[in-house]
Structure formats: C-alpha cells, structure tokens
Amino acid sequence: MKAKTVEDIRATLKEGRATIGSWMQLPNDGVAEIMGAGGFDWVALDLEHGRFAEDQLASLFRAIAMGGALPCARIGQVSAYAVKAVMDSGAEGVVLPMIETAELLRDAIGWANFPPRGTRGVGYSRANLFGKNFDPYRERINPLVVAQIEHIRAIENIDAIMTVPGLDAIMVGPYDLSASMGLTGQFDHPDFAAALVRLSEASRRHGVPSGLHVVQPEPARVEAAIREGHQFIAYGVDAVFLWHGARRPNS
C-alpha cells in the first residue's frame, strides 16, 4: 500500500478537514505494522513517554509506512540532535513537545530541514537509503511539523509561535498546560477554559489548524473534537488499544 505523504496531510488540513493519526509507545515491528495498517493518516512514535532505542527507529518507521500511514515521531525533548536523529532514521514528520517560544520552534523547524530552508546536516542516512536516493530525498523532503502547546508561557506567546514559517498545526497538551497554571487536571476551571479560548482564537486568526489527543478509544470523542473545530487529532495509543481489548471474558 502506498503510504500517505506529507502533502496528502497538508492538503487535508488546507481543505478544512480533519486528519486522524495515532501514537505508538510499544517498540515492536509487528505493532508498528498493525498500527500503520489501521487506516490512520499518520502514526507517531512517542519518544517522550515511550522507550525506543535509536537503532529501532528505522525499522519501525518502515513498518508504519508499509501499512499506508505517514511515519512521524514525537521527540522526547526539543534539541538539534533529537530532531536530526528521527529525520535521518526516516521520519516524515515531527511532533514537538513543550514549545513555549517562537524562537524554539524556529530552531526546531530549521533542524528538521536541509539548507536553504534549515540547518539539518546533509549526508547519507537511512532516510535516503544511505545515499542511493540522496538527491530525490533531499529535493522532496519537507517534513510535517506540529507544535505541542503545553505551558501557559506558550499561550502568552501564541501569536508569535503561530507566525513561524513551516508550522503545520498545533496540539494542546491539557494536563501539562493545566499543571503549568497550578490547576493540574482542573479542566473545568475558568482560567483553564480561558486559556483554551485564547488558543482557539489564535488558531482561527492565523489559520493554523489545532488538534488534540483523544487518549481513550472512543469514536464519539473524535466526532466531538471535529465539531469543535480541531483538525489534527491523535486517536488512542497502541498500549491503550491493547489493554482495552486484552481482557478476560466475564471478568
């Protein structure tokens, strides 16, 4: 099956439709193949909370793409090394946690892109089949970039963040955002609700699609998120899918 491309995802977002992907935390080729074939537009390895060895990334990205989904990675911490490592291993998109300033986002987008758009080191890697596809890969790669808004400082800087060239979408991290406000998990608190309103208004103002993570496998919550205007939606997690299904009958 032909894998989704970055341009497929961008076209969906530009048309105002929702793109739905999922997370992986289990470092297993078979799981990656199953997730990739699950009909998702993209599947992201969760390097922030999952436990993946760097030498596993290439085969996992390959298995995801084989199933038809765009292989992405949520990096553990925004740094030049972390971004370049997943790109060289074959990621076609990056989800960036804890983006609080435009400067950090601009740096991260630069690390993901070759010159002249960025500062990514140019060389042979698994992403270009160790040089065999060097020129075609270098000419086409323009990774999907999603910034996670997870701190009140990001809300305060949201207009600057949303004007950084190369940003495709944002995702709110509700637990971290509420924690940064001293309101951990208090999603009904007026101050937290006001922060989400500011984020939503900025998203519409700048034309940057917003999204969130529907952790539990509940399709109705996805439909609700779409009705609320979200377009970049992560649905479930491989391990959560497993423990929902791996239950003894009548227990």
In a domain, 251, yes or no: no
The structure tokens 């961008």 sit at 10
The answer to whether 239 and 26 are in contact (CB under 8 A) is: yes
Residue 34 C-alpha from the chain's centroid? 19
pLDDT digits (tens, 9 = 90+) for 49-72: 998 999 999 999 999 999 999 999
226 pLDDT exceeds 80? Answer: yes
82 pLDDT exceeds 80? Answer: yes
Full DSSP string of 50-77: S---GGGHHHHHHHHHHHTSEEEEE-SS
In a domain, 124, yes or no: yes
Boundaries of domain holding 21? 6-245
CA distance 187 to 209: 21
Instruction: Report residue 12 as tokens.
Output: 């969906």
Instruction: Report residue 222 as tokens.
Output: 């996805």
Tell me the β-bridge partners of 211. Answer: 171, 232
The answer to whether 83 and 144 are in contact (CB under 8 A) is: no
Instruction: Give the pLDDT of residue 251.
Output: 61
The answer to whether 206 and 159 are in contact (CB under 8 A) is: yes
In a domain, 83, yes or no: yes
Torsion of CA 52, 58, 64, 66, to 10 degrees: -160
Q: What pTM did the predictor assign?
A: 0.94
CA distance 136 to 94: 20
| One-letter amino acid for residue 223 of the chain | E
CA distance 232 to 251: 36
Which positions ≥6 away from 53 have C-beta within 8 Å? 27
Instruction: For the chain, give the number of residues.
Output: 251
| Total domains in the fold of the chain | 1
* Rounded percentage of the chain residues whose pLDDT exceeds 70: 99
- Checking DSSP bridges between strand 42-46 and strand 70-74, what pairing results, if any? parallel
Here the CATH number for the domain that contains residue 223 is 3.20.20.60
Instruction: Give the pLDDT of residue 1.
Output: 67
On the 0-12 / 13-18 / 19+ scale of CB atoms within 10 A, 46 is buried
In a domain, 250, yes or no: no
On the 0-12 / 13-18 / 19+ scale of CB atoms within 10 A, 162 is buried
The structure tokens 């290439």 sit at 58
pLDDT digits (tens, 9 = 90+) for 13-32: 999 999 999 999 999 999 99
Model confidence at 183, pLDDT cuts 50, 70, 90, reads: very high
Instruction: Report residue 245 as tokens.
Output: 């299904």
Which H helix or E strand runs over 159? helix 158-162
In a domain, 1, yes or no: no
